[in-house]
Structure 1
């Protein structure tokens, strides 16, 4: 499949998942808690499951030799050269609350390296795509290239994280609080949308912990394609999830790492 054909297939996946999800948004739907043994609330909706079923079916029909790793239905052939990494609704809590800061994440890895990514927000009609070299936004205002903002100084930076309670009590939480104390402004609760706003030059820094691969793989090619950097706190690959730091400016990324991994 050519690059153009792959792009069209990604669009088809986004269209199909959006059609599966939107009837549930700001409507009544079934809700389950995936948490076990007193763990924090971990919601999953009918919309999550419906979208992932559609995505898996389309990928299986088009690329039967590819692997799939999805949030709701586990993994298939993850030892394959190419593996699709899916989060049908990243930001399920926002979805439940009727807030449009959720999105469908569709990533593709080759030999474990994220090579294509798409974040689709069907309610707003926005589609963020990237291949690690270029990134684009298509939406109601048209299409444009995504470029991160130049910001080398923590004191001038806007930081985002989904929830400050993501960080484990003790050293991890203390490192985050130290970093947050050095930035100009911080915002909470945007999930995948914060990373896309970083790629669009609106946010400078996103710092999180406890992520799964499906939370971040699709976003890496978008941010890197827009000129940013995404790594683990220790500077290694972020593709496996865990503790992640993304910055629009490589100089800001280096400054953040010094605080998070002294």
Structure 2
């Protein structure tokens, strides 16, 4: 790992762990308000957003930022970060210990590095992935610095598949796995990367839910299926992604795509 990527990893780890320590003080002790899109936000979300943006500006002053709480327009610069300062706000406010901080670093509109920290679980995922080969970046996916890979097993009623609240329509007889609903988009997908689940689907995630997870999923060997007619990446500079839902299916290996894809066909747009 060259010096730049070592700095990126160290920065992401140091920043999310520092912010996470403070968020643990808020955990279960804050009131949420409802945003225009129906999602929840707290003072903890806003504090985390401000802290992470300030940290990026100090460490990488030439990097722009795309963030859930304050900046929805895709920057025109080659390098920018996408931030979800608190993924799983409903869990956070209700005292459910699955929530995290999501960072994704983009190069020319596509995420090439992701770091996701879940403070209550003491779990931190990170990964590198550059399909273009332009950055000469060695791919890898890690949980607490240990390499991870998606499962190579076949579906059964002893394997998990994760849903979001808006994809419960797939709950029908014959579904090939046990269903779980964790309440956090990033964790749903990272469970596939680590081999915990064989698949997961999110009906209405936003770009900051997905950006940090995408490189980890790819490097872990899982398959990412964007359930929309337009390509997901590269993002288009100058466009507003604030209200844009990006329905996504992730499965542990390509051979499982035709097994699970028909169950989520209704999410295609």
TM range (shorter): 0.7 to 0.9
1:160 alignment partner in structure 2: 162
Is contact 1:157-1:205 (8 Å) kept?
no
After TM superposition, the structure 1 = structure 2 runs for residues 90-101 of structure 1, keeping only pairs within 5 Å, are 90-101=87-98
Question: What is the alpha-carbon distance in structure 1 between the residues aligned to residue 53 and residue 115 of structure 2?
Answer: 16
- Aligned partner of residue 206 in structure 1, secondary structure: strand
Using structure 1 for the length normalisation, give the TM-score: 0.83
Is contact 1:82-1:111 (8 Å) kept?
yes
Is contact 1:238-1:244 (8 Å) kept?
no
Question: What is the alpha-carbon distance in structure 1 between the residues aligned to residue 10 and residue 195 of structure 2?
Answer: 26
Q: 1:57 to 1:222 in 2, by over 3 A?
A: same
Q: 1:234 to 1:76 in 2, by over 3 A?
A: closer
1:83 alignment partner in structure 2: 80
Question: What is the alpha-carbon distance in structure 1 between the residues aligned to residue 230 and residue 254 of structure 2?
Answer: 14
Out of 190, 202, 213, the position equivalent to 2:183 is: 190
Is contact 1:154-1:256 (8 Å) kept?
no
1:170 alignment partner in structure 2: none
1:129 alignment partner in structure 2: 126
1:49 matched to 2:46: yes
Aligned length: 244
Is contact 2:155-2:177 (8 Å) kept?
no
- Aligned partner of residue 102 in structure 2, secondary structure: strand
Question: What is the alpha-carbon distance in structure 1 between the residues aligned to residue 264 and residue 54 of structure 2?
Answer: 40
Is contact 2:158-2:177 (8 Å) kept?
yes
- Deviations for 1:158-194, whole angstroms, at most 9, x for unmatched residues? 210121xx24xxxxx75x456x842221111331222
2:257 alignment partner in structure 1: 253
1:115 matched to 2:112: yes
- Aligned partner of residue 108 in structure 1, secondary structure: strand
Using structure 2 for the length normalisation, give the TM-score: 0.81
- Aligned partner of residue 123 in structure 1, secondary structure: helix
What displacement does 1:52 show?
A: 0.8
What displacement does 1:258 show?
A: 4.4
- Aligned partner of residue 227 in structure 1, secondary structure: coil
Out of 5, 11, 14, the position equivalent to 1:12 is: 14
| Structure 1 runs not aligned, ≥5 long | 168-172
